[in-house]
Amino acid sequence: MKRVFLAVGLLLLLWVMPAAADYLIIKVDLNTVDLKAVPPMPQGMQGGGMLGGPGGDGAFPGGALGGPPGGALGGPGGGFPGGALGGPPGAGMRGGLPPGAGAMGVMGGGEASQIMTESENPIWVMGYFEIKNKPKSYGPAVEFDHQHGKKTIVPLMPNYKYTHLRSESQARVFDKKRRVDLKDAKDPEKYVNLALWAWSHGLMKEYHLVIDDLRKLDPKHPVVKNVALVQAQLKTTPQGDDPALRPLLDDLRAENYRILGSEKGHYGLLTNMPPTQTNDAQVRRRLARLEDNMESFYYWFALQDNIALPPMPKHRLLGVLVSSPREFYSKHAVWGGAPMATDGFTPRRDNIMVISARRLDEAYVTLDKNLQGYMQMAKVGRDELLTGKVWERKEVMDAAMPVSQVQTLAAIQKSMEEEAERTTLSHEGTLQLLAATGILPRYTGVPQWVQYGLASYFETPHGAVYGAGGLPSWSNLVAFKFHRKKGFGKPRDALYNVLSDRLFHTAARTQIDFEENRDKEKLQQKLRDDWEKARSSAWALVYYLVQNKKFDTIIRYTQELDGLPRDLDLDQRMLEGLFAKSFDLGDAKSAHKLDPARLQAVAEAWFAEMEGVSLAAAEVEHDELKYRYDQANPKKKAAPKGQFPGGLPGGMIPPGGGPGAPGGT
């Protein structure tokens, strides 16, 4: 994958390679949004080719990006003040720009970058967009279509952070791997590995193509038999709803909840959303996603050679889709107020998902509130912003730049809603399946680390631009690496704190302190860090075990839990003993007592392996970590004048390159 950061007009470079996947990540600190702040128009729409040749070399007369001869992305004197990447004159896109020669100062270098100020307590919102067409350049703005809308005009604002990711489409990568890896291949393991790659990238059609190839090679291969069995089981529908849930369902119906079932019959969602065509479409979309998640769950197990296929659920799996956040939080309190990792929760005993119809985090709530006011000011609606029809109105065109800011924020909001829905359904849907199949006990205690770790392995995580389950987590890997440097302590201590659930208990106590403390700012960062440590380490341990084909030890562990007395409180000593026995880490005298040396060996191997794990988009990981380190070390030497806070460190661009675009959330 090629690393490129968005500067003015950079998107016009990106359609050379066919079948490419282009993604644009836009991050905005809501505290810095000002609709009156309009970026300057290009300095002289004459001379200066678009890509840095002599005048008139660009796609538009005089160059779409303006500036004196030399162009925007390289060559002396090109573009706008405030270079995009820094570097020596004439170095072009890879070598960067001299201070004062880059695009608008959006990303660093030169005087113009001083426009950017980061608020003391930023509220970051992020949207990711798969670019569907060849963008058009309008001075300091770019128009393109994406998966959330059309004709979106993104202004290149100093307080926006832009990251562009470019790669071949995942389907195209699969085609190449299939041609190369399976050419004259006689080893079934190659087919299984490629099927797993397709699964982890959400390519289920391609998954089945590989299984068909394997079937031709070896019709009796265990994976071929497993997939055939899963296909047959998925065609059957469960026998109604769990009778034990009847009183709960009666209570919900009395509260005007109605139920809609999925087309394949495995799921039902009760909702209090009014029965309109739009609302029903939203419910059915979620039902379809739950069905897809179930198929993905079972097809992963079909590829495993040391784990039996889980049984299909005996009854239809049910969820409660709550229309208002207030009512959702009320139900959360009634069910015990367990910590939530997504916009939902799944009580194991009842094994019913409860999910919010709206995203609940502070950043989204703030964006929604602000956006309503912005749309009123601009006299536009969200639908016309997302469809691009807003640009058919003359009065809007006369105020194009402020409206483009509102449109961009509306597109970010839509992206955040999509992200929350897929993460919530894949996470909570997996928890429900784990309980329905007996992998997680329903009536005995289960440590939070194994619940979160397993669900996060199968989920499509927050922040994922592409991919499905099983890949390095876009949300957890960066947090794990960050805290590995400063927050976990020694590997053995970190592993012990995970298996004893100490990290989740610490986070829960901090949560209580935060909710009871009026001066929440002092606890806000600690709360975030504590939950990050607990969740990222749980994901990392499960990921490590799965990668090393030790999922069977996790099942052995949960089976040990299932054999405990019902409702028994799990203390630290008991969890230590269960882990020692299940993972063969007991000492010579007792299988239920951890051997310190064996624990340390596993911990060090875990940390060492995770250090070499990277996101599919390694540049995103790099920038996120750089931003986090900079934020955690505010007393470090101030950046040179013109350098964007949290800018790209050395090594990511060739020698001579200067500061780059920030990352972080």
Give 570's pLDDT tier (boundaries 50, 70, 90).
confident
pLDDT (0 to 100) of residue 566: 86
Given a cut of 60, is residue 492 above it in pLDDT? yes
pLDDT (0 to 100) of residue 38: 56
Count, residues in the chain: 665
pLDDT (0 to 100) of residue 636: 53
Task: Give the whole-number percent of the chain exceeding pLDDT 90.
Answer: 59
pLDDT (0 to 100) of residue 76: 29
Task: Specify the higher pLDDT residue, 152 or 113.
Answer: 152
| Three-state DSSP class for residue 12 | helix
Domain positions in the chain: 2-168+619-632, 170-220, 221-445, 446-616
Given a cut of 90, is residue 471 above it in pLDDT? yes
Backbone angles phi, psi at 258, to 5 degrees: -120, 160
Give 118's pLDDT tier (boundaries 50, 70, 90).
low
Given a cut of 70, is residue 82 above it in pLDDT? no
Quickly count: other Cβ atoms within 10 Å of residue 243's Cβ.
8
Given a cut of 60, is residue 356 above it in pLDDT? yes
What strand order describes the sheet that includes 317-322?
A: 258-261, 267-271, 317-322, 353-356, 344-345
* Greatest mean pLDDT range, 50-54, 98-102, 587-591: 587-591
Asked if residues 628 and 478 have their Cβ atoms less than 8 Å apart, the reply is yes
pLDDT (0 to 100) of residue 515: 86
Residue 94 has, within 13 A of its CA and on its CB side, a CA count of 3
pLDDT (0 to 100) of residue 226: 97
pLDDT (0 to 100) of residue 632: 79
Task: Specify the higher pLDDT residue, 542 or 644.
Answer: 542
* Best CA proximity match to 576, nearest among 592, 561, 558, 553: 592
Alpha helices in 169-203 (DSSP H): 170-181, 188-200
Given a cut of 90, is residue 388 above it in pLDDT? yes
pLDDT (0 to 100) of residue 78: 28
Q: Cα torsion at 352, 358, 364, 367 (round to 10°)?
A: -170
Mean per-residue pLDDT over the chain, rounded: 80
* For range 18-47, the mean pLDDT: 67
Separation CA 431–CA 340 (nearest Å):
12
Give 39's pLDDT tier (boundaries 50, 70, 90).
low
* For range 179-199, the mean pLDDT: 94
Give 296's pLDDT tier (boundaries 50, 70, 90).
very high
pLDDT (0 to 100) of residue 623: 84
Find the range with the poorest average confidence among 4-18, 354-368, 565-579: 4-18
Asked if residues 109 and 642 have their Cβ atoms less than 8 Å apart, the reply is yes
* For range 132-147, the mean pLDDT: 89
* For range 134-161, the mean pLDDT: 89
pLDDT (0 to 100) of residue 36: 74
Task: Specify the higher pLDDT residue, 443 or 2.
Answer: 443
Quickly count: other Cβ atoms within 10 Å of residue 326's Cβ.
8
DSSP letter, residue 38: P
Separation CA 423–CA 428 (nearest Å):
8
Given a cut of 50, is residue 179 above it in pLDDT? yes
Q: Is the dihedral of CA 108, 112, 114, 117 positive or negative?
A: negative
* For range 541-557, the mean pLDDT: 96
